[in-house]
Amino acid sequence: MDPIYAKCNKSCGHKFYVSYFKKEQLHKSIEKTYFNCPNCGREYVCFYTDESTRKSQSKMRELHREMKWADGDQMEKLRQEEVYLKDIITHNMVCIRREIES
């Protein structure tokens, strides 16, 4: 994965590259993915996942591998499944974030 350019926009204004993300196991099966500003340590949460979301993400990776070799009707079916999985993953992440941060 290529480093991502970031700016600490909530604290010190430091500009930096995020080359890796940290993961922390929270209560139940919730996992937090985040990074910290190397200058001031400010935490930036990327997303939260639960077990079902991680399973959906795994299915998405599998789907993308299949899409490399698909064509025609098969590709259209896989694209529809991709849209469906993206919706599920996004919805789950929003719900988990709302639960954790409220």
Are 44 and 57 members of one domain?
no
44 and 7 housed in the same domain: yes
> By residue range, what is the domain housing residue 97?
51-102
Predicted TM-score (pTM) of this structure: 0.84
11 pLDDT tier (thresholds 50, 70, 90): confident
Together in a domain, 63 and 38 = no
Q: Can you count the helices (H) and strands (E) in the chain?
A: 2, 5
What does pLDDT average to over the chain?
Answer: 93
49, 64, 79 — which closes off a domain? 49
Query: Do residues 65 and 96 share a domain?
Result: yes
Average pLDDT over residues 56-73: 94
Return the pLDDT at 28: 82
41 in the same domain as 69: no
Residues 92, 37: Cα–Cα separation, whole Å: 27
